Amino acid sequence: MSIISRSVLQALILTKNEEPNIQRVLDKLTWLERVVVLDSGSTDKTIEILQSYPNVEIQYRAFDSFAQQCNYGLSLIESEWVLSMDADYVLTDQFIEETKAFVSGAGSDIVGYDTRFEFLIYGRQLISNNTTPRTVLFKRTLGIYFDDGHAHRLRINGRIGAYKSRILHDDRKPFSRWLSNQDGYSIKECHKLLDPTNPDRNSMLNKIRRTKIFAPIFVFFYCLIIKRLIFSGWPGWYYTLQRTMVEMLFSLRLMEEQHFDVNSKK
């Protein structure tokens, strides 16, 4: 597989304790001359794995927010294009070939490309999922990240295209860590929903969420029936129950904020 020059395209990955995932991700990035990994304090074997790849450069920064971390990472990129990835994104051969074509295309006014995702549960693919498209490839100087609740978004100054192929989203970290992360995310999402200046506050989903009762029920049946995950066997049930649990945590945080004085010392 031909190597893409560091002046044309480099990849950016954020890590913290990604031992279960990072090797599968890096195995599909050997066609890049430079991959920048920004680590925020891994204590497992993540660094050891990263050091085994000659095209990987490790940088370190204490985590404050996803947007700040990503923007700092962009400052480390030297190429015209950047492939911005999570540490559980596994590329397919079709995605790699499309990427090469995009960055070598002359005369195009497209400055970024969205992709969709195939969601895997411990390597087993689902029929469908709830993930939304994300801009993963873009011209470095035309993109900047900003925080949005627990998530981070990318603002691109220019025209956006789309991949035909998809990235495999395959996170194999322990369930206990996933649950801990979701608890922290639910607090941020709760504050975002209760913010009167939030432009998405009155979307249909957020109206359902503010009931604090119906969102978990809605998500359960939406995943299982509308998204047809009942036909994905146990991985489908696993994903459905995960999404339902996310909404349950969110509902509990809303109840605390609106009906209980959980911060009272009395």
Query: What integer is the mean pLDDT of 159-177?
Result: 94
- DSSP 8-class letter at 202: T
Identify the residue with better confidence: 55 or 1. 55
The pair of structure tokens assigned to 42 is: 């891994």
Cβ-contact 244, 220 below 8 angstroms: yes
Identify the residue with better confidence: 135 or 195. 135
Predicted pLDDT of residue 263: 64
Predicted pLDDT of residue 150: 63
Query: What integer is the mean pLDDT of 171-196?
Result: 88
22 Cβ partners below 8 Å, 6+ apart? 13, 15, 46, 49, 50, 87
Which residue, 205, 208, 209, is CA-closest to 186?
209
How far is Cα 92 from Cα 61, in angstroms, rounded to an integer?
Answer: 29
The model's pTM is 0.88
Predicted pLDDT of residue 106: 63
In the chain, the percentage of residues whose pLDDT exceeds 70 is 96
Cβ-contact 3, 33 below 8 angstroms: yes
Identify the residue with better confidence: 144 or 206. 144
> Does the pLDDT at position 262 exceed 90?
no
- Identify residue 155 by its one-letter amino acid code: R
Predicted pLDDT of residue 47: 98
Residue whose entry in the numeric block shows the structure tokens 């700040």: 68
Give residue 205's pLDDT band: very low, low, confident or very high (50, 70, 90). confident
Predicted pLDDT of residue 105: 78
Give residue 200's pLDDT band: very low, low, confident or very high (50, 70, 90). confident
> Does the pLDDT at position 165 exceed 60?
yes
> Does the pLDDT at position 266 exceed 90?
no
Predicted pLDDT of residue 147: 84
Query: What integer is the mean pLDDT of 210-230?
Result: 94
One DSSP character per residue, 213-252 reads SHHHHHHHHIIIIIS-GGGGHHHHHHHHHHHHHHHHHHHH
Using only C-alpha atoms, the chain has a radius of gyration, in whole angstroms, of 20
> Does the pLDDT at position 232 exceed 90?
yes
> Does the pLDDT at position 148 exceed 90?
no
Predicted pLDDT of residue 161: 96
Strands 89-90 and 159-169: antiparallel
Predicted pLDDT of residue 73: 97
CATH number of 9-169: 3.90.550.10
> Does the pLDDT at position 107 exceed 80?
no
DSSP 3-state assignment of 54? coil
Chain-wide mean pLDDT for the chain?
A: 92
> Does the pLDDT at position 215 exceed 80?
yes
Query: What integer is the mean pLDDT of 55-65?
Result: 96
Where do the domains of the chain lie? 9-169, 175-259
Residue whose entry in the numeric block shows the structure tokens 């969110």: 250
